[in-house]
Amino acid sequence: MLNNTSSSKPTPTYSGFTITSTGVGGSLLGLAELLPDEWQIRALIFIPLISPTFSYLLMHLRCKFTEPLEITSMRSALKRDLKQLKKILKDECASKQVKQKAQKEYDDTLLKIANINKNFANSTKEINMHFGEKEDS
């Protein structure tokens, strides 16, 4: 069974392609043909040893510089809210009360964007606790 629902840990999902040692190994094998003949045999011997390490490093870099889809969609929604609030603040026909509420919402939205990673980490910790993991204190 590919999707084990009885697991105590939630399965992380990644959007986009997954870098695997097979894909990296295949790419390196293709590049090995470009080497001079005396180096091709050596490359073919070392590629199976280098490929898993190289793919691990690439995946580590990818995970370090990308953020989860949930954070990206939340950030986009909050930025759309900011645009609408800016329009209200610039609107000459809006009353003072509406502009004051919009300014408060604008400030709150800016803080939500600034703290989105922390809030996501806290919600993930709560989800992990729900699945049976203990919180690190």
Q: Which amino acid is at 101?
A: K
Overall pTM surpassing 0.75 (yes/no): no
Tell me: the pLDDT tens digits for 83-103?
Answer: 999 999 999 999 999 999 999
Nearest 5°: the CA angle 21, 26, 27 is: 100
The helix (H) or strand (E) run that includes residue 32 is helix 21-32
Q: With b meaning 16 or more CB within 10 Å and e meaning fewer, what string describes 88-104?
A: eeeeeeeeeeebeebee
Phi, psi (degrees; rounded to nearest 5) at 68: -60, 150
Give the residue from 116, 119, 11, 27 showing the smallest Cα distance to 73.
Answer: 116
Q: Average pLDDT for consecutive 10-residue bins of the chain (137 residues)?
A: 42 48 81 89 87 82 78 89 94 93 94 85 57 48
Cβ–Cβ contacts within 10 Å for residue 42, how many? Answer: 11
Give the residue from 87, 76, 74, 81 showing the smallest Cα distance to 105.
Answer: 81
